[in-house]
């Protein structure tokens, strides 16, 4: 399993007049966790794009259990529980201290500059394998 | 069934450096369709909040089939296929002319000012019933 | 003078917990008015980019007199009061019916694909001239 | 003078199809620096709102010298050069290492829950005075 924790402090711009975080912002935070995960396995997303590949979001889901609010310090947990094949799947938990606020998931694949789906590059598979923690 | 179509023109701010619409924006557009649906059944969301009720998003999903791009004119189709009970469920299709770009769904419930879940107000149920189109 | 009016309906996502429109959104709305102005002079921005030119924002200002709120219907007035030279300047007024909520301005220039400043293309100057209304 | 530096890492969502940061996002980043400044003088903004006061943005300006891009690590410098009176003024510099990308400023005042302008609370003035660095 891969497990990454990205830290977020809720911005005023991310709240709405219900005095909670507007729900679409969680998808943006899920992405900060993906970017950090790629950093941590040693293959920054910026480098992937420099190599002419992109990792679009194919599916996204979120279940909103309890609202985050302005100025909250949040942990965005990312979990990769299955090794990537053509597609790969990520799960997320947004927590304020111990409290679980939002659960989510995304599905991804690689595409090239023409938008054509391609297999994940070997380097990605290898770095995931190297980072994989059987016990986590 | 309830069916509403909201019109969107893609803003530059909604694109990202992949030259497509950033994926979280579709959730915002789904909401424009919900707001329009509530207008069309005669119970504007602003009025619901004035009455001390709120309709937060409990779940959201999106499947990204093909990207929308800057300046696209899009139709955001909203479908309510089941009558509301304590919760209600909406489905969405984002189309550019005939082409289906994104499918989505959201789940909702009503809460009061203290964030406590409450049953949908009678007026909501009645207006939905009045607008329901058996043949659509 | 060029004068364009773009219509906006305030989205829930554009509000913040102060129960007003978050201030950066006005810059996005100013842009919807620019896009519409370019449509109206017959040179859509999408076409400008297709021709390898871009019109970045060089400066932006806004004075917030009175807040816009959720679901407000707003008119975003754009005024070009001086004909474009190397740079061009636009002014904005955000109104809810007769009430002036926000005043703003932006400065722009053209750049090419390499980010190098270039003179406005002749077509832009000509279309502005054709649309110019001396009496407005 | 008060001087605060807030750290930003550019999110994918903050870019646009020109492959640069969309210009309105800088206003959001200016705010992260304001929030941090209030933390540092010992009067967090959340506490100010808890006390029934708000600090809306009355004016905002930005001059875009050079674009920030995806994944850039940026320093958002905030400067308060004049002590607050009824209004107070802040200046900003967005830097990538030594390079100045964007300059900006905002004007602010305090309002109460009814939106009425009020003088800054004594605590604010005192904490600013305590934090003021004559030599900076």
Q: Would the pTM of this model clear 0.90, i.e. be above it?
A: yes
- What is the chain A residue with the closest CA to C15? A16
- Cβ separation of A71 and D35 shorter than 8 Å? yes
- Cβ separation of C12 and A22 shorter than 8 Å? yes
Per-residue model confidence (pLDDT) at position C7: 98
- Cβ separation of A31 and D45 shorter than 8 Å? no
| Structural domain includes residue B19 | yes
Angle at A61 between CA B136 and CA A9, to 5 degrees: 135
Q: With bands split at pLDDT 50, 70 and 90, how would you rate the model's confidence at D22? A: very high
Distance from CA of C112 to the nearest CA of B (A): 17
The DSSP element (H or E) to which D79 belongs, if any, is strand D73-80
What is the spatial distance between Cα A94 and Cα A29, in angstroms, rounded to a whole number? 9
- What is the chain A residue with the closest CA to C16? A16
Interface test with B, best of D20, D22, D68, D71 (most B CBs within 10 A): D22
| Structural domain includes residue D25 | yes
Each residue's pLDDT expressed in tens, for chain C with a length of 136 residues: 999 999 999 999 999 999 999 999 999 999 999 999 999 999 999 999 999 999 999 999 999 999 999 999 999 999 999 999 999 999 999 999 999 999 999 999 999 999 999 999 999 999 999 999 865 5
Per-residue pLDDT reduced to its tens digit, B45-103: 999 999 999 999 999 999 999 999 999 999 999 999 999 999 999 999 999 999 999 99
ipTM: 0.96
Nearest to B59 among A25, A58, A62 (CB): A62
Contacts of B56 in chain A (CB under 8 A): 18, 20, 23, 64, 67
Q: Spell D2-39 as b/e; 16+ CB within 10 A means b.
A: bebebebebbbbbbbbbebbbbbbbbbbbbbbbbbbbb
Q: State the residue for tokens 């390499």.
A: C114
Query: Is 90 exceeded by the pLDDT of residue D99?
Result: yes
Total domains, chain A? 1
| Structural domain includes residue A14 | yes
| Structural domain includes residue D20 | yes
Can you give the residue range of the structural domain that contains D62?
2-131
Contacts of B24 in chain D (CB under 8 A): 13
- Cβ separation of B71 and C12 shorter than 8 Å? no
CATH code of the domain in which D40 resides: 3.10.129.10
| Structural domain includes residue D124 | yes
| Structural domain includes residue D104 | yes
Distance from CA of D96 to the nearest CA of C (A): 18
- Cβ separation of C13 and B31 shorter than 8 Å? yes
| Coil, helix or strand at residue B69 | coil
| Structural domain includes residue B136 | no
Per-residue model confidence (pLDDT) at position C136: 54
């Amino acid at each position: 399993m891969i497990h990454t924790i990205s830290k977020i402090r809720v911005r005023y711009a991310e709240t709405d007049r219900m005095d909670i975080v507007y729900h679409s912002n969680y998808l943006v935070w899920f992405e900060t966790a993906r970017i950090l995960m790629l950093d941590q396995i040693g293959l920054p997303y910026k480098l992937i794009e420099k190599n002419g590949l992109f990792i679009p979001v194919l599916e996204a889901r979120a279940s909103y259990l309890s609202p985050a609010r302005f100025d909250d310090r949040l942990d965005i947990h990312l979990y990769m529980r299955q090794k990537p094949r053509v597609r790969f799947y990520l799960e997320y938990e947004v927590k304020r201290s111990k409290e679980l606020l939002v659960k989510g998931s995304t599905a991804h694949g690689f595409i090239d500059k023409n938008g054509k789906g391609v297999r994940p590059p070997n380097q990605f598979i290898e770095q995931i394998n190297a980072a994989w923690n059987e016990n986590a």
